[in-house]
Structure 1
């Protein structure tokens, strides 16, 4: 499929964009899945998140995040109070269907005029890591952006040295676009930022693959997957 055309001056230019812009901003409303529920983050989630993250006794999961680990419950409550007031990033608590918080994530760099949105500030407690619920949480965020809000581009960025995050992006269907060198300073350290994206024309294939993997029949009674996500196309 061609992504450009030749104008009357003989120059290659981008194709016209259909649809209406700006797109709606994402609502701060729950996202319901079979395995997980994403709730607008509030200070009431702080205690549960603090408890869940405390299982990471060495703080390894905080290394590439802009802050943390939480020093104590009061620190977690202060962070949650600030995060709850933010509109960009727009934070969600990742909870079990019963309401136990096991992580958080956000939409950020929200650009309705261009139909571009990023997912980031992703932090899974040990109990959520490498679980189908974590994949479903990311699927729900994608689905809202593309299916509900009509965004054209969905981004994932991470420290270029964060190998688990890079692998997660590619497993979910993001395409690597390149690395911005010396992009930011995080915790006093240089960060080269790796960029990944999914665009709207790719979303139907990505969506079908994720839904096939998340389907109940893909999991045995003990919860093990029958087909790996990478084997589904």
Structure 2
């Protein structure tokens, strides 16, 4: 970044003369090749999601989430009824395009349109979509939406610093690690140090190119095994290859 000086010879940030803020998210759905994101609805999604989460052999997927697991369909539906009314977080159900069934949820949150900052959170994927193309396509859909359509400058990922799978996912998706906020949250009666990651708008074009290359059908063999890793494609795109 080129250093700019003000009238007092102090360094200041880049000027943003055309900045007027980003748009608030309002899309009812986002369509991809392998999945679709739909605004969360208890009536449409509660039963299918509850069944999808029951595929897990235990409750470890809920350890780092602020709520759950839910012991009954009624308890989960009650949570969805509250979540669907919220605008921040704005929750989406992930619909498997091959079955038409909901297989997870995710949200846009901590929405700061004035400064162009938005976060992805409440990532709650059932075994039916973990480590599949759907999980990666969700991130590609959000990247296009927040940068191309809504005009945000910064897309954030935050997680418990002890949540190794979430930290690894952030890195795989091209987020840059920025540090740890110590004793940031008290959750479930315990301390949470929060790891912060981000993607900024200048990084987005190379990243979305890598996502598109990874998600292309020809990147998978007849058994659905990837031919090139997303991390490799991200590195190549950032290097201009």
For Structure 1 versus Structure 2, the TM-score category normalised by the shorter chain is: over 0.9
Moved more, 113-122 or 96-105: 96-105
For the 8 Å contact 1:28–1:90, the answer to whether it is kept is no
Q: Which runs of 5+ in 2 are unaligned?
A: 236-241
- C-alpha distance in structure 2 between counterparts of 1:168 and 1:119, whole Å: 12
Number of the residue aligned with 1:23 = 22
CA contact (8 A) 1:21 1:115 kept: no
Distance 1:18 1:211 in 2: 32
Runs of 5+ unmatched residues, structure 1: none
Q: How many residue pairs end up in the alignment?
A: 232
Cα pair 2:174 2:231 within 8 Å, conserved: no
Query: Where has structure 1 moved over 4 Å in runs of 4 or more?
Result: none
TM-superposed CA distance for 1:20, in Å, is 3.6
2:58 counterpart of 1:76: no
Deviation of the 1:19 alpha carbon: 3.3
Cα distance, 1:18 vs. partner? 4.3
Name the SS for the 1:137 alignment partner. helix
Summarize the alignment of residues 24-173 of structure 1 with structure 2, pairs less than 5 Å apart. 24-43=23-42, 44-97=44-97, 98-173=99-174
Alignment check: 8 A CA contact 1:118 1:155 kept:
yes
Answer with 207-216 or 152-161: which moved more.
207-216
CA change 1:56–1:18 in 2 (3 A) is: farther
TM-score calculated relative to the size of structure 2 = 0.94
Q: CA RMSD in A?
A: 1.0
Counterpart CA distance in 1 for 2:122 and 2:17 is 31
Aligned residue for 1:77, secondary structure, equals helix
**Equivalent position of 1:14 in the other structure:** 13
| Per-residue deviation, residues 12-61 of structure 1 (Å, max 9, x unmatched) | 00011243422110014100000001000001211111100011131110
Given that residues 106 and 119 in structure 1 are in contact (C-alpha distance below 8 angstroms), is that contact kept between their aligned partners in structure 2? Answer: yes
SS in 2 for 1:205: helix
Q: Which residue in 1 is equivalent to 2:214? A: 213
